[in-house]
Amino acid sequence: MTQTQVKDKPIRSGTRPGRVLSGADMIVEVLASEGVDTIFGYSGGAILPTYDAVFRYNAEHAAGGKEPMPLIVPANEQGAGFMAAGYARASGKPGVVLVTSGPGATNCVTPVRDCMADSVPIVVLCGQVPTGAVGTDAFQEAPVTTIMGTAAKHVFLVTDPEKLEATVRTAFEIARTGRPGPVVVDIPKDVQNWEGAFRGEGRLPIPGYRQRLELVDSQTMGEDGCREFFEMLAESRRPLIYAGGGVIKANASEGLRALAETFGIPVVTTLMGLGAMDTTRPLALHMLGMHGAAYANYAVDDCDLLIAVGARFDDRVAAAPLKFAPKARRVVHLDIDPSEIGKVKRADWHYVGRLREALDALVAYGNHTAFKGEFATWHAEVGALKTTYAMNYDRQSALIQPHHVLETMNRITRGDAIVSTGVGQHQMWAAQYCDFREPNLWLTSGSMGTMGFGLPAAIGAQFARPDRLVIDVDGDASIRMNLGELETVTTYNLPIKVMVLNNFGDGMVMQWQRLFFKGRLSGSDKSLRKKDFVKAAEADGFGYAKRLDRKEDVPRVMEEFLSADGPAFLDVIIDPGASVYPMVGPGLSYREMITGDFIPNRYEGHKPVEPESSEMF
């Protein structure tokens, strides 16, 4: 982001520079100037001055009974962090968290790390004990800068109140620019109570960071780069785009789709990249990787030119890097982060810079030169892969198969709903069987794999996109982690649809235990638990709360559930033995992919391999 791109916006509240304000009021004025329209947080002693400032600001600027910056109170601070993440993922704008010191701040560690791992911009404002008490183990003190320092993109401790305003403004700059991420601002209570002149502009001097951004900005996909790219594409007969979440973060989905559709290049996406390419299009091969579609993984095996865009060759995609895309004569890598180039897989040609501009330049060059690739045979092969190795499951079972539930949901939503998930089998089934016609419709915890993410993320997404149908596809184990947020849904009368695929346990763990640990279900079987999710939803005010336990009722109940007015909850009792396939074990290549009993496998004779104790889950 260049200097001109980060210059201060007009102050939305109209507060005049030079007016004397408390530090807390300055914080709120900066939030207003940054366009913040929702705050997620939980109050406490060390942040009370700022909570009071939010209250007064909303009272003063309310219009038509509507607050300009409503404060959304969750069941706990972790919920607030994931709500902010869901808001950011659905809107593309930074989410904001406002919490107190000590446990308020430490409860945000997991959401902060989750956002860092998935490059999600949030700003976390934490109260802290007064400056003079820092380091004395005062009541509800925690060393936030130390704890958060390795989890966040950046952490500030404000000890000079004169720098408070500039610090908060700089936090937003860092969160949204470059590779997005979470920024934490730790603000002692006396700094919030301090009074001084409001400037209405200004940022901290962070020359190293801005120089790195300017270096990225200075990189452009010039004519030479475009020519080299299309020379490689002209030599290829089986090109494949491998798109990651970076495409969505860069707002480059339109350029990616234009590159693919204009020049006939098929696309596979990562878990985080779902929606970068309209999954209903013929050239879309949906998700690759550990639980990706078999046809997507086979296309990776077959391609002769791999074009990685905003993707990082992580272990869930390239568990065996040397065997990943084994027939690719060249690997091309485009990313904004230079550290990703060559980190896992050597790139024969790369570009570091802004993806949207680079993709637009490539499309313009290809159109100008009237490029035509010889890909007809490859298109036929890709079509055959999608037909022969299509997703499938036990359609004759008398039990409810989760795949059937999600297929039915997808036929109704047609890829236009926002879908959030927890983490586990339900997450993978949703990724496999749901379509996403646009970016920012798929919200899931990718790199961290944080259970409990789905429900609070859906809440944040609904605030960001009140016009959209928002569905939380969750698991019985995952939703337990933040079950208290059911009450948050009804408190704010959010029309979120919460669906639990209930297999009475930690389904993904159980699947691994059956495959690799001889069926010893150590700590994962929850069939003796007493939770009645329907009663819990009713207790929290859900007017629609039902259990679905008969296969023949799936189409009718799904229509009823999705069309219900206001919040709706559905507990779906699924086959407890249902597994997620395909599956590529840790450290294995796509030749060793397990496809299960209902998806053909073109490589015969490969059996599951029991991992060593050091293998990753």
CA angle, 35 then 181 then 485, to 5°: 75
Write down the pLDDT at residue 14: 61
How much is the average pLDDT of 99-127?
98
Rounded to whole angstroms, the Cα distance separating 173 from 611 reads 44
Residues 483 and 345 in one domain: no
Active-site residue identified among 189, 497, 526, 546: 189
Tokens 């701040």 locate to 105
Task: Verify cis geometry, omega within 30 degrees of 0, for the bond prior to 582.
Answer: yes
Active-site residue identified among 221, 409, 508, 583: 508
Q: What pLDDT digit, counting tens, does each position of 587-601 carry?
A: 999 999 999 999 999
Q: Is 140 a catalytic residue?
A: yes
- Percentage of the chain beyond pLDDT 90 is 90
Residues 371 and 424 in one domain: no
Q: Is 77 a catalytic residue?
A: yes
Residues 70 and 202 in one domain: yes
Residues 51 and 146 in one domain: yes
Better pLDDT: 80 or 219: 80
Structure tokens at 380: 């036929």
Residues 99 and 67 in one domain: yes
Instruction: Say whether 98 sits in a helix, a strand or coil.
Output: strand
Write down the pLDDT at residue 615: 56
- Contact between 222 and 359 (Cβ < 8 Å): no
- Show which of 177, 209, 241 is a domain's final residue: 209
Structure tokens at 382: 């890709």
Rounded to whole angstroms, the Cα distance separating 154 from 152 reads 5
Q: How confident is the model at residue 605 (pLDDT cuts 50, 70, 90)?
A: low
Write down the pLDDT at residue 228: 97
Q: Across the chain, what does the average pLDDT equal?
A: 94
DSSP 47: G
Q: Is 428 a catalytic residue?
A: no
How much is the average pLDDT of 374-402?
97
* Residue 458, in any domain of the structure: yes
* Segments forming the whole domain that contains residue 351: 219-388
- Classify each residue of 38-76 as buried b or exposed e, where b means 16 or more C-beta atoms within 10 Å of its C-beta: bbbbbbbebbbbbbbbbeebbeeeeeeeebbbbbbebbb
* Residue 313, in any domain of the structure: yes
The CATH number assigned to the domain holding 36 equals 3.40.50.970
Structure tokens at 340: 């990703």
- Contact between 265 and 257 (Cβ < 8 Å): no
Instruction: List all residues 6 or more positions away from 121 whose beta carbon is below 8 Å from its beta carbon.
Output: 88, 93, 94, 95, 115, 175, 176, 180, 181, 182
Q: How confident is the model at residue 16 (pLDDT cuts 50, 70, 90)?
A: confident
Better pLDDT: 516 or 589: 589
pLDDT surpasses 90 at 327: yes
Q: How confident is the model at residue 5 (pLDDT cuts 50, 70, 90)?
A: very low
Residues 204 and 226 in one domain: no
- Contact between 335 and 268 (Cβ < 8 Å): no
Instruction: List all residues 6 or more positions away from 168 whose beta carbon is below 8 Å from its beta carbon.
Output: 26, 27, 30, 31, 123, 125, 185
Active-site residue identified among 139, 211, 231, 327: 139
- Show which of 209, 232, 267 is a domain's final residue: 209
Number of H helices, E strands in the chain: 23, 20
User: Length of the chain, please?
Assistant: 617
* Residue 100, in any domain of the structure: yes
* Residue 591, in any domain of the structure: no
pLDDT surpasses 60 at 532: yes
Structure tokens at 590: 């796509």
Structure tokens at 598: 């209902």
Q: What pLDDT digit, counting tens, does each position of 138-159 carry?
A: 999 999 999 999 999 999 999 9
pLDDT surpasses 80 at 12: no
pLDDT surpasses 50 at 315: yes
Write down the pLDDT at residue 442: 98
Residues 358 and 497 in one domain: no
- Classify each residue of 245-276 as buried b or exposed e, where b means 16 or more C-beta atoms within 10 Å of its C-beta: bbbbbbebbebbbbbbbebbbbbbbbbbbbbb
pLDDT surpasses 80 at 609: no
Structure tokens at 299: 């296309």
Q: What pLDDT digit, counting tens, does each position of 504-515 carry?
A: 999 899 998 988
Rounded to whole angstroms, the Cα distance separating 540 from 550 reads 25
Q: How confident is the model at residue 614 (pLDDT cuts 50, 70, 90)?
A: very low
Instruction: List all residues 6 or more positions away from 230 whose beta carbon is below 8 Å from its beta carbon.
Output: 362, 365, 366, 369, 371
Residues 132 and 150 in one domain: yes
Residues 381 and 442 in one domain: no
Name beta bridge partners: 421.
473
Rounded to whole angstroms, the Cα distance separating 342 from 333 reads 9
Q: Is 343 a catalytic residue?
A: no
pLDDT surpasses 70 at 330: yes
Active-site residue identified among 26, 29, 69, 77: 77
Write down the pLDDT at residue 282: 96
Tokens 């700094």 locate to 191
Residue 467 CB neighbour total at 10 angstroms:
5
- Contact between 430 and 412 (Cβ < 8 Å): no
| Region for 71 from its dihedrals, namely left if φ exceeds 0, alpha if ψ lies in -120 to 50, beta otherwise | beta
Instruction: Say whether 410 sits in a helix, a strand or coil.
Output: helix
Residues 428 and 480 in one domain: yes
- Contact between 157 and 145 (Cβ < 8 Å): yes
How much is the average pLDDT of 325-348?
96
* Residue 278, in any domain of the structure: yes
* Residue 606, in any domain of the structure: no
Amino acid letter, residue 254: E
* Residue 395, in any domain of the structure: no
* Residue 602, in any domain of the structure: no
pTM of the predicted model as reported, rounded to 2 decimal places: 0.94
Closest CA to 253 of 263, 264, 267, 239: 267
DSSP 393: -
First to last CA, the chain: 37
Rounded to whole angstroms, the Cα distance separating 582 from 458 reads 27
Better pLDDT: 500 or 530: 500
Q: What pLDDT digit, counting tens, does each position of 189-205 carry?
A: 999 999 999 999 999 99
Q: In this structure, what is the dihedral angle of CA atoms 5, 6, 11, 17, given to the nearest 10 degrees?
A: -120
Please name the residue ranges forming H helices in 244-330: 245-249, 253-263, 294-302
- Show which of 388, 410, 427 is a domain's final residue: 388
CA 387 to chain centre: 29
Active-site residue identified among 140, 232, 343, 504: 140
Distance set, CA 586 to CA 165, 593, 608, 609, 614 (Å):
47, 10, 11, 9, 11
pLDDT surpasses 50 at 3: no
Structure tokens at 573: 């009792």
pLDDT surpasses 90 at 18: no
pLDDT surpasses 80 at 70: yes
Write down the pLDDT at residue 17: 87
Q: How confident is the model at residue 617 (pLDDT cuts 50, 70, 90)?
A: low
Q: Is 508 a catalytic residue?
A: yes
Structure tokens at 154: 């950046």
Structure tokens at 467: 């016009």
Residues 382 and 425 in one domain: no
Residues 356 and 292 in one domain: yes
Taking every pair of Cα atoms in the chain, the longest distance, rounded to a whole number of angstroms, is 76
Give the number of domains in the chain. Answer: 3
The CATH number assigned to the domain holding 255 equals 3.40.50.1220
Structure tokens at 346: 């050597």
